[in-house]
A and B are shown apart, each in its own frame.
Chain A
Amino acid sequence: MTPKKRPTTSLPAQLPLDIDALLDSPATRTIVCCGSGGVGKTTTAAALAVRAAERGRSVVVLTIDPAKRLAQSLGLAELGNEPRPVRAIDLSAGGSLDAMMLDMKRTFDEIVEDHADPERAAAILANPFYQSMSSSFAGTQEYMAMEKLGQLRTRADQEGRWDLIIVDTPPSRSALDFLDAPARLGSFLDGRFIRFLIAPAKAGGRVYLRAVGAGLGAVTSVMTRLLGAQVLKDLQTFVAALDTTFGGFRERADATYALLQAPGTAFIVVAAPEPDALREASYFVERLAEEGMPLAGLVVNRTHRSSAALNPEQALAAAERLELTGEHARTAGLLRVHAELAQQMVTEQRLVTRFATAHPAVPRVEAPAQATDVHDLAGLRRIGSDLAKP
């Protein structure tokens, strides 16, 4: 394919996002790819990982829910919960690439096993609340992705096997869920409700309930009416059993959150040139700034390009002229195809310009739309080089 130029619509002058500088800098130790669902987060994370490894970094990439064929291209036939080397990577620059897919239930089980004595761990693992919470409820994925990132960071620091961690984030309701999950867990663990749930076991709970003006008996009676006695008992057993591991949870969640604010971390916000995706990216960029989290920049995936010097109106007018003569049908068709593409470019650039105007300090790179889907290393390399040389 011939090299494609930037679209003709002019944009406010802006810092480009220099992907290679980011990947090459030894100061970059963790890259978090976030954004709303369906914008190509996982593919972007994988493409960055392949590029960084082939440029000499020792990389581990954590993917959350990759498409089957993308996973296969990274040598991930099944959930492993342990990084595995990706073969077929060019190692000549001295780098390496390990990849893993998050197994959220396994990750949760491991935390329990690490933090409770065997008897207590067995009780938690067998509790019906634990089983449904760890395997099937929404929200757990965010907690566990964050947990796994913390584990990888610790191992990277201790073992020195990796000098760059790249993480994909779960396909949440909102990209912000990933940031909020650990804080929510923390607020629950410090919260009033937990003290009520473990109140029967701890005198402090009773004192606390009196302080908020609610009798233990009244609360228990309401909860029993709501849940039924058996459920309430299961829930209390679960919470009481988890109580011993809570300290560990909270410290780890806090540590991981601090890690996200550390200088070695870079957030890459991924979007598509569509209103919802860019709006979500906007929220995310604002939130990162509020939290003091380091934003590397915005990747706008799937933008359309053309090097034909014809705007949509010119192309359409020319196609209509030819159609009136009844000749050159093929050229007329190509002009219509171009008019549609050029119109789409205008729409996309309007959306991107709106974002750029609102966030002038955010470096940005636009990656071209691929004519077909990407699910092999060659495709990931192509995306990586598109991101580096837009």
Chain B
Amino acid sequence: MVASGTAARGPNPWDDVRLHIVTGKGGTGKTTVAAALALALASGGRRTLLVEVEERQGFARLFDTGPLPYEERKVAVAPNGGDVFALAVDTEAAFLEYLEMFYKLGRAGRMLKRIGAVDFATTIAPGLRDVILTGKVYEEVGRRRSGRQEYDAVVLDAPPTGRIARFLNVNAEVSGLARTGPIRGQADSIMELLTSARTVVHVVTLLEEMPVQETADGIAELASIGLPVGAVIVNRVRQPALRPSDLTALGKREVSEAEIVTGLEAAGIRPTRQTVAALLDEGADLAARVALEKRERRRVQALKRPTYDLPWLPDTIDLGGLYILAQALTEQGMR
């Protein structure tokens, strides 16, 4: 099955993008989509890095490895060559590293830890955590090795739509608090990257009312604070096994039980009343769902963003499933 999104088939809209941020309502599968995106972007001999910041070890499960340590690990080889690395950010370690890197605080960093400032920063002070995490992502995007970029693209599995604007905008918030000083400089550099053409925020949705509503709200919120919105990625798109005219008839309850009885007999199944009624109910439910999906599809189109479709896969997602999703993205021009 080839998924059919409406993304640009002409020039690749993401050529200059180095940081792909993936968000979406909880339950829409954004971690899976981020992983598939990293695979797709790596294909053809490139290197991509997947970053997770919520300490859930989502990538370890998807790529079927043990828990990821706080270091970049190769987790998959992309189609046609190319490597996908993954990094599970440990907030406390990232904070100490950050202090060392930007302020050359060796012993003093340990002193801050002893007096509880690190604990404060990573778990209690709301927001500081986000400063550290966005700082780590910033560092990965800029990382260089032997004169070239270490990664062709960094894919961030970001917090959900409800919190994404707050998460990404935390450095603007910091800039507002710190009028001068080193933190101000760092915050400004991060905001510069996040609002530049090198960054896009993709939103994952399902063709259901609440996820689409959150997608629309999230896009409006991101745009209002100047963050670049990328694509809408529609996850779990199903192709109904019934023709539109049949769905309409089933939805209107115009299909007779007698027809299904005859059909089941022809298929060698003894038709009980219960089974026939259940099949007709399931057809009517599907008709209702397809009608709803059509409405939601129109609302997605009205957002006027490049759109990619990912097929629904019947089982829980494993590595094989990720390759199928990555291929669907590649076929729709994501590279």
The chain A residues found within 8 Å of chain B, CB to CB, are 1-2, 4, 36-39, 65, 67-69, 128-129, 132-133, 136-140, 171, 173-174, 184-185, 187-188, 191-194, 196, 209, 212-214, 218-219, 222-223, 225-231, 234, 272, 274-277, 306-310, 314, 318-319, 321-322, 325, 327-338, 340-341, 343-344, 347, 351, 371-373, 375
Asked if B275 is at the interface of the complex by the 8 Å CB criterion, the answer is: yes
Which of B43-51, B113-121, B192-200 lies at the interface with chain A?
B113-121
**Residue on B with the closest CB to A128?**
B177
Please give the distance in Å from A71's CB to the nearest CB on chain B: 12
* Given A309-B274, A337-B242, 18 more pairs with CB closer than 8 A: A36-B27, A37-B26, A133-B125, A139-B129, A171-B162, A173-B159, A184-B123, A192-B115, A228-B183, A230-B180, A274-B27, A274-B316, A306-B282, A309-B275, A328-B266, A331-B264, A334-B263, A335-B267
Residues of B within 8 A of A331 (CB): 259-260, 262-264, 266-267, 279
Contacts A231-B181, A276-B58, A334-B282 hold; do A347 and B27 have CB atoms under 8 A apart?
no
Q: Is the CB of A334 within 8 A of B279?
A: yes
Asked if B73 is at the interface of the complex by the 8 Å CB criterion, the answer is: no
Q: Is the CB of A335 within 8 A of B279?
A: yes
Q: Is the CB of A337 within 8 A of B283?
A: yes
> Can you give 15 A-B contacts (C-beta < 8 A)?
A2-B278, A38-B26, A136-B166, A138-B163, A173-B55, A188-B120, A231-B183, A325-B266, A328-B262, A331-B263, A333-B242, A335-B279, A337-B241, A344-B314, A373-B208
Residues of B within 8 A of A308 (CB): 274-275, 278-279, 282
Q: Is the CB of B213 within 8 A of A67?
A: yes
Asked if B3 is at the interface of the complex by the 8 Å CB criterion, the answer is: no
**Residue on A with the closest CB to B184?**
A228
Contacts A138-B129, A318-B267, A322-B266 hold; do A37 and B160 have CB atoms under 8 A apart?
yes
A137 to B227, CA, bound (A): 18
The contact string, 1 if C-beta is below 8 Å from chain A, for chain B 251-287, is 0000100011011101111001011011111110110
A231 to B186, CA, bound (A): 14
Interface residues of chain A: helix, strand, loop or mixed (majority) = helix
Please give the distance in Å from B96's CB to the nearest CB on chain A: 12
Asked if B331 is at the interface of the complex by the 8 Å CB criterion, the answer is: no
Q: Is the CB of B243 within 8 A of A277?
A: no
Residues of A within 8 A of B255 (CB): 330
Asked if B8 is at the interface of the complex by the 8 Å CB criterion, the answer is: no
Asked if B139 is at the interface of the complex by the 8 Å CB criterion, the answer is: no
A373 to B209, CA, bound (A): 7
Residues of A within 8 A of B319 (CB): none
A140 to B129, CA, bound (A): 13
**Residue on B with the closest CB to A230?**
B179
**Residue on B with the closest CB to A173?**
B54
Asked if B25 is at the interface of the complex by the 8 Å CB criterion, the answer is: yes
A272 to B178, CA, bound (A): 43
**Residue on A with the closest CB to B264?**
A331
Q: Is the CB of A314 within 8 A of B246?
A: no
A338 to B274, CA, bound (A): 14
Please give the distance in Å from B272's CB to the nearest CB on chain A: 7
Q: Is the CB of A337 within 8 A of B27?
A: no
Q: Is the CB of B177 within 8 A of A187?
A: no
A197 to B215, CA, bound (A): 41
Q: Is the CB of A133 within 8 A of B314?
A: no
Please give the distance in Å from B259's CB to the nearest CB on chain A: 7
Please give the distance in Å from A317's CB to the nearest CB on chain B: 8
Q: Is the CB of B111 within 8 A of A214?
A: yes
Contacts A322-B263, A331-B263 hold; do A137 and B242 have CB atoms under 8 A apart?
no
Identify A137's interface contact among B26, B127, B280, B289, CB under 8 A.
B127
Please give the distance in Å from B215's CB to the nearest CB on chain A: 13
Interface centre among A219, A227, A334 (most CB of B within 10 A): A334
Identify A225's interface contact among B103, B125, B238, B316, CB under 8 A.
B103
Q: Is the CB of B180 within 8 A of A228?
A: yes
Contacts A309-B274, A334-B282 hold; do A371 and B108 have CB atoms under 8 A apart?
no
Contacts A136-B166, A337-B282, A338-B279 hold; do A330 and B126 have CB atoms under 8 A apart?
no
